[in-house]
Structure 1
Amino acid sequence: MIDLYYWPTPNGHKITLFLEEAGLPYTIRPVNIGAGEQFRPEFLAFSPNNRMPAIVDGAPADGGAPQTVFESGAILLYLAEKTGRFLPASPRGRIETLEWLFWQMAGLGPMTGQYGHFNVYAPEKIPYAIERYGREAQRLLGVLDRRLAGRAFIAGDEYTIADMACYPWVDPYAGAPMDMTPFPEVRRWKEAIAARPATQRAYALTAQVNPNAGKPLGEDERRQLFGQAPR
């Protein structure tokens, strides 16, 4: 059994997408990041960057003690290797998938996240930041659109952890929708993933785990999310 320390954010969705697709048994352990639960010592013991998601795998492949994994990209890679699924077996297919997994971790996620922060959550509008991250998010969508031309999924015909990593970070903010008109390949790809039953099950967890999802943040939630000094 896998314990998933989770809150319904784009990074959290990555892991539920995998678990639902693979049919692995798991238990959600909510980490309410608006209430500061990511700073609890028992969570920091295996997720030292005070970020979720993280997992504890009670039945690792080596048969040893429970395996902890933090960082969403590392979790996807761990689960793919554990199950032998959603990561091509061929060396070239594997490296292509990992290239795009790391592209998401280093580029699409952080840049789209900053776009969302300055458009939705920042206490004051900063035009330079809004334009800077908006342009970069659009540029990255262009990179992804070109990659998807002639391919069903990012690594080819197979749905992989690269798709699971990127999908939640494409236009994720209802309060600041992005102009997707210039990216027909991304729109086609996103619609195909959204139609998958596992995707629908994964996203249905949002309302179960956080009934307040989508509502404006309270001052204490804002402080917990954006005002914490390093510990």
Structure 2
Amino acid sequence: MTKPIRVWLTPPGPNSWKVIVVLEELQVPYEIVSFRFDDVKKKPFIDINPNGRVPAIEDPNTDLVLWESGAILQYLVEQYDTNNTLTYTTLKEKHHLSQWLHFQMSGQGPYWGVAGWFNVLHPEKLPSAIERYNEQVRRVLGVLDSWLEGKQWLVGDKMTYADLAWVPWNDRLDSTIGVAPEEKFTGFPNVKAWHERMTSRPSWIKSMETRARLMDEQGLMWNGVPKGMASFQEYEAKIAAGEDTAKV
């Protein structure tokens, strides 16, 4: 019998939810260790991941500790997707899946994250930085939209882990670049349809219900800052001072 995989995460960030939605799709048992962003650079988590970033997993079935969300996704499908539900084993398709995952990790994640920083969290508005990274977001969306023309999925004729890896960051694109939710994929109809195919699935709906509950348990606003704090800088300052941010 498969023992639950332990997933260490802080609820706000997108990367952890790539892992959760894939676990849900594969119906692999898991348990979440949800902790505060304040503690990502502290024990016990840095004993799990010395880089102090979520997610990380502990798999008691193989005695493996693993971090970096892309590496975790590839491990999960190799170890637990015995029916190849979310993957392919044929030469071209297997490496094309890896290609799109690497593009998500090197293109979408960093650009969406930096765009979100300058649009939302940075203490001063820097128009040149905002335009630079918003334009990079649009560029990556353009690559996706062009590729998805006439296609349902990134690789082959089924949804794979490569598709799912893109969902968490895309789902919060509106808040990342500061537009209305219904406008976040304006000009990119193929990306919009692709995204909606995945977010309508029970695995995603359940994952986001779990995220909402964990965010509420920690008293966090949509941007990951605790309720009652004016800015991310105030939050960081309180963490640096060793204050208990849960009491705000």
Q: TM-score, normalised by structure 2?
A: 0.83
Superposed, 1:141-156 pairs within 5 Å as: 141-156=141-156
Q: Using CA pairs below 8 Å that are at least 6 residues apart, which structure has the higher relative contact order?
A: 1
Kindly provide the CA deviation profile for residues 37-94 of structure 1, in whole angstroms up to 9, marking residues without a partner as x: 111122111211110000000102xxxxx21010000000010101134121111111
Unaligned runs of 5+ in 2: 242-248
Cα deviations by residue, 1:114-161 (Å, 9 ceiling, x for unpaired): 111110111111111100000000000000111111221111211111
Q: Name the stretch that deviates more: 211-220 or 81-90.
A: 211-220
The one-letter amino acid of 2:73's match is L
- The 3-state SS of whatever aligns with 1:40 is coil
Return closer, same or farther for 1:120/1:143 CA change in 2, 3 Å cut-off: same
- Which residue of structure 1 aligns with residue 190 of structure 2? 185
- Please name the residue that 1:123 is paired with: 123
Quick one: distance in 2 between partners of 1:116 and 1:89?
Answer: 36
- Equivalent residue for 1:48? 50
The aligned counterpart of 2:39 is 37
Contact 2:112 2:173 in 1 (8 A): no
Give yes or no for contact 1:206–1:213 (8 Å, CA) kept in 2: no
Task: Using the TM superposition, give the Cα deviation of residue 207 of structure 1 relative to its aligned residue in structure 2, in angstroms.
Answer: 1.6
What RMSD, in angstroms, separates the aligned Cα atoms of the two structures?
A: 2.0
Is the Cα–Cα contact under 8 Å of residues 118 and 125 in structure 1 kept in the other structure? yes
- The one-letter code of the counterpart of 2:103 is W
Residue 92, structure 1, aligned to residue 79, structure 2: no
Distance 1:225 1:124, change over 3 A: farther
Contact kept in structure 1, 2:173 and 2:184, CA below 8 Å: no
The CA distance in 2 between the partners of 1:104 and 1:29, in whole Å, is 25
User: Shift of residue 173 of structure 1?
Assistant: 4.5
Whole-Å separation in 2 of the counterparts to 1:115 and 1:134 = 6
Q: Is the 8 A contact 1:52 1:71 kept in 2?
A: yes
Runs of 4+ that moved beyond 3 A = 222-227
Equivalent in the alignment of 1:5: 8
Gaps of at least 5 residues in structure 1 are 61-65
User: Is structure 2 residue 195 aligned with structure 1 residue 198?
Assistant: no
What is the aligned residue count?
220
Q: Which amino acid aligns with 1:51?
A: R
Determine the structure 2 residue equivalent to 1:27: 31
